[in-house]
Amino acid sequence: MKPTVAPFPAARLRRTRSSQAIRNLVQENTLTPSDFIWPVFVRDGEGQEEPIASMPGVMRRSVDRIAEAAVEAQALGIPAICLFPYTDASLKTEDCAEAWNPDNLTNRAIRAIKAAAPEIAVMTDVALDPYNINGHDGYVVDGEIVNDATVEALVKMTLAQADAGADIIGPSDMMDGRIGAMRTALEKAGHHNVAILSYSAKYASGYYGPFRDAVGASGALKGDKKTYQMDPANSDEALRLIERDLLEGADMVMVKPGIAYLDICHRVKSAFGVPTYAYQVSGEYAMIQAAAQNGWIDGGKVMMESLMAFKRAGCNGILTYFAPDAARLLNG
């Protein structure tokens, strides 16, 4: 590329930074509440809001409180909410049947949100880990996470969520062939407008620690998830996964975790130009909150800076626990 900068002093690059008005004019990226998908944790009971120690400011809410949160999110201009269930240990089994129970926590929460805040899109998580006795996203047979039987279970789970009224299905399991199987089943069941936002490039990450506490899976998990989630060393492989999921019918794709994987977000958006999302995961949230609570960083500033970074990298939106706080700040 030819240089576009005149010699000094014709060019003083500080000129376009010299007032807030000019800074606003030359701003290349923007952040608005409509960039956010808000992940929330659902628990049983009524009138319950239980803090999660490793995620300061985040609660496990009972279904009625989730509906209230959705009303609040809708008023703030947040377009979507994503549900994660905290499932009682007594409901975790080897066959994970609670995953497709039409009255499980997620499906009850979907119906409650649809009744209370009909304009907000409801996204779900598809993976067996909240219901699995061993904490894995797939069935475990003789120590192996088996693919094809897991996909069959995930399809049942998907259909139950779509029947309950989910707008966006979010497969986070990283099994092979699941997107195609889900799309086919959704079409067959008449759920033509139920979209799939695939967790296509999901890494085997240390940043998920607080989440596993939040959904009560950390105690249960035996071993690691490296046979299905990606190696943090890889980048070309992410493009193959994204392309594969798009060819199977994914409407939107996700990179997860977020900040440590902005190069992947950028490559994905540049290569495919499809709706691309990043998940600013629990560990990223916890790190910012912990440092802020200690007075080591300005929490609000770092929150906004981290969210803008996703937009700059090319993301269309961000799944973030900061969604309501950031939306409040943006709405002034």
Q: Which residues are catalytic?
A: 202, 256
Q: How far apart are CA 221 and CA 94, in angstroms?
A: 13
CB of residue 257 to ligand PBG, shortest distance in Å: 7
3-class secondary structure, 16 = helix
Helices of type H across 165-298: 178-188, 209-214, 236-248, 262-272, 282-293
Q: Site residues for ligand PBG, window 268-307 (CB under 6 A)?
A: 281-282
Kindly tell me which of 104 and 282 has the beta carbon lying closer to ligand PBG. Answer: 282
Give the CA dihedral 210, 214, 219, 221, nearest 10 degrees. Answer: -80
Q: How far apart are CA 259 and CA 306, in angstroms?
A: 7
Q: Assess 310 for contact with ligand PBG (CB under 6 A).
A: no
Span of 124-132, 182-190, 267-275, 296-304 interacting with ligand PBG by CB under 6 A: 124-132
Q: Assess 248 for contact with ligand PBG (CB under 6 A).
A: no
Strands 80-85 and 140-141: unpaired
Number of residues that bind ligand PBG (CB under 6 A): 11
Kindly tell me which of 116 and 209 has the beta carbon lying closer to ligand PBG. Answer: 209
Kindly tell me which of 208 and 261 has the beta carbon lying closer to ligand PBG. Answer: 208
How distant, in Å, are the alpha carbons of 25, 62, 137, 138, 305 from that of 86? 45, 10, 15, 17, 30
User: 178-188 and 148-164 helices cross at what angle (nearest 10)?
Assistant: 40
* Residue 76 φ then ψ, to 5°: -80, -10
Query: Is residue 140 a contact partner of residue 134, using CB atoms and an 8 Å limit?
Result: yes
Q: Which of 235, 222, 249 is nearest to 138 (CA)?
A: 222
**Burial tier of 23 (Cβ tally within 10 Å: 0-12, 13-18, 19+):** exposed
CB of residue 84 to ligand PBG, shortest distance in Å: 7
Per-residue string for binding with ligand PBG, 56-95, x by CB under 6 A? ----------------------------------------
Span of 18-26, 122-130, 244-252, 268-276 interacting with ligand PBG by CB under 6 A: 122-130
Q: Assess 157 for contact with ligand PBG (CB under 6 A).
A: no
CB of residue 148 to ligand PBG, shortest distance in Å: 18
Tell which one of 211, 228, 310, 322 touches ligand PBG (CB under 6 A). 211
Kindly tell me which of 63 and 318 has the beta carbon lying closer to ligand PBG. Answer: 318
Kindly tell me which of 127 and 327 has the beta carbon lying closer to ligand PBG. Answer: 127
Q: Assess 98 for contact with ligand PBG (CB under 6 A).
A: no
Span of 28-36, 106-114, 142-150, 208-216 interacting with ligand PBG by CB under 6 A: 208-216
Tell which one of 125, 167, 245, 248 touches ligand PBG (CB under 6 A). 125
Residues 6+ apart with CB under 8 A from 48: 60, 61, 62, 65
- Tokens at 149, concatenated: 């039987």
CB of residue 259 to ligand PBG, shortest distance in Å: 12
Tell which one of 54, 87, 172, 306 touches ligand PBG (CB under 6 A). 172
- Give the nearest residue (CB) to ligand PBG: 211
Bridge partners of residue 144, in order along the sequence: 141
Q: How far apart are CA 174 and CA 276, in angstroms?
A: 17
Interface with ligand PBG (CB under 6 A)? 125, 127, 129, 137, 172, 208, 211-212, 225, 281-282
